[in-house]
Amino acid sequence: MFRRKARLPSATALAEVPLTRPISVPRVPVMPAARPKVPCDVQLCIEIDHTGSTQKFELGVPESLAIILKLISTKARRVTVWVIVHGDHDAGQQEEVLLDGGTPEQAIEAVKRIKYEGGGSIPGPYGDPEHHLDAVEFALGHVPWAVDRTSGRGCIILFSSSESHPARSGATPAQIGERVKEKGVLLYCVSEPTPMLREMCSAGGGLLFQITNTPDPTELQKIAAPVAASIAASLARGSTLPMGAGSSDTQGIVTKPQG
């Protein structure tokens, strides 16, 4: 017994069948391609004056550092951080390494644990002087800065609120700045524009961001963005100096007024 084959509807018949529902094609959002990171490892040394005169750094620096590290981490392949505190050697405050080559997250936690106390008692036009120049020399000798500047870049950010004592090594501020530049390390001073720090920044091709001697968190946060932007721009362009250095009549010093 033979079964009859079912007849398939013709194309004309199909065309006459009304569509009960419109055909919807789901839209797939087109996401912009992520910008590739600069193939460069960043060595970032945070130098902080932890004497009692800079106690207001306690709130502002962790928040400012988070802004800086977040932007740099989006630009660089890897960021390794050193956190070093310093004060007045005459008061027994030697340099102390709180984080010896850690992650950005560890750096923020280390800064939050800093205790601001002690310091000298010799008054001056910019407050009690501390050993900031010695701190920069210490950072230059302690951090294993990259030799190949095409794959690794170094950066020092100094937070201070007073003038510096002369360096115990006998080096002038200009000589210390020149050593920073010779190593290809980017130099940023977040401080009052004292004569010694201005001299060091000028010789090192660094940037100095002006603050009051008792900065509040808002003041430091305003500075964090241009510091981070300068570092990121320097990495992207392969510059051996902070982007913006040399663009003013202060020989590489850009002072950002508070307020």
Measure Cα distances from 206 to 5, 106, 160 in Å.
Answer: 88, 26, 15
Closest CA to 61 of 94, 109, 103: 109
Of the pLDDT bands very low, low, confident and very high (cuts 50, 70, 90), residue 254 is very low
Domains of the chain in start order, with CATH, are: 38-237 (3.40.50.410)
Q: With a cut of 70, say whether residue 246 has pLDDT above it.
A: no
Tens digit of each residue's pLDDT (9 = 90 or more) over 132-143: 999 999 999 999
- Gap between the terminal Cα atoms of the chain: 100
Whether residue 111 contacts residue 156, with contact meaning beta carbons closer than 8 Å, is answered with no
Closest CA to 165 of 220, 216, 91: 91
Tens digit of each residue's pLDDT (9 = 90 or more) over 155-213: 999 998 889 999 999 999 999 999 999 998 999 998 888 999 999 999 999 989 887 65
Tens digit of each residue's pLDDT (9 = 90 or more) over 79-134: 999 999 998 887 777 899 999 999 999 999 999 999 888 765 555 545 578 899 99
Q: With a cut of 50, say whether residue 247 has pLDDT above it.
A: no
pLDDT of residue 255: 42
